[in-house]
Amino acid sequence: MTYLIAFRKNKGLTRTEMAKKLGISHSYYEKIELGDREPSRNILERVKRTFPSFDMNIFFNEKLHETCNKGN
């Protein structure tokens, strides 16, 4: 979730602040960043609504590469 982490930090937000803006718990958001949980479509829609500059293409390309690399 490198892009998500970089995006949050670029906005100057802590994990707690980001979670609050998205209306989710800090622990759930942290699990998403750490890769322990996959963000639901609902969460991704919240991110896009809250931060229109969030580039979903970069996010999904990163996820695709992570998935491909797990097979190696």
The domain locations on the chain are: 2-70
Confidence of residue 1 (pLDDT cuts 50, 70, 90): confident
Q: Enumerate residues 6+ apart whose C-beta is below 8 A from 44.
A: 56, 59
Q: Is 18 exposed, middle or buried (0-12, 13-18, 19+ CB in 10 A)?
A: buried
> Per-residue pLDDT tens for 11-70?
999 999 999 999 999 999 999 999 899 888 899 999 999 999 999 888 888 877 766 766
Options 3.90.1170.50, 3.50.50.60, 1.10.260.40, 1.10.645.10; CATH for 2-70 is 1.10.260.40
Q: What angle do CA 48, 52, 55 make, to 5 degrees?
A: 75
Q: What is the pLDDT of residue 72?
A: 56
